[in-house]
Structure 1
Amino acid sequence: MFGLTFDKLLIVAVIAAFVIGPERLPAYAAKLGQLVRSLRDFANGAKDRMRDEMGPEFDEVDWKKLDPRQYDPRRIIREALLEDGPEATGAIKPVTQSAYAQRKMPLTAGAIPPYDTEST
């Protein structure tokens, strides 16, 4: 989380203990605990409210399908513009993998990497 290791957090806690002082440290620790509890209650409340408003469909939603990394804007635009065009006749092959998944695939030996003419 943000590049913080246990050692760094321990150093920050020791510095905070010296700066705050032993008299005020319990009060600030209690305030931090209240903040963490209120944030957890807020998140749980939002989740419960979403479940109440969506009803039984909330548990049926495939949240991985809604991952924004799977979307390829060029494919979405191409499909929207060519709904009645050559795609209907089968001239254009639809994309079966997202751009994110394609980027993770390694190239074979001697293969030319993909070049996007639209981005230059």
Structure 2
Amino acid sequence: MFDSVGWPELLILVVVGLFVLGPERLPQAAAWLGRTVRQVKEYATGAREQIRSELGPEFDELRKPLEDLRGIRNFNPRTAVTKHLFDGENPLDGIFDDTATNGHRPEAPKPPAEQPRPLSPGERPPYDSDAT
């Protein structure tokens, strides 16, 4: 629940709470917040258990698409193509291995760059009608 809230954010919230509530009411507010969060967690767990008991094995069928959606976060296109086309075996393993070159890929040779000649006074620059 608080995955995105780090220590600096919590410190800022405590300082703001200290200014808004004052030092007398801040401990009571923190205790109330802790009880409320714990109660909400218990309600969510109870609801999940109630749904699981009422649906039985169908609950697992409902959870499967949700787990698939969570798996999309770690989606690797290369692994997906390998899995579906080659039944998990990649015939290209070792061909494009970076360890043979110590992690460095050889660069393609660059063609020599043409040096443009300077324009004469009054000469119009070249115009490419396909590029515009």
Q: TM-score range by the shorter chain?
A: 0.3 to 0.5
Structure with the greater relative contact order (CA < 8 A, sep ≥ 6): 1 or 2? 1
- Larger radius of gyration between Structure 1 and Structure 2: 2
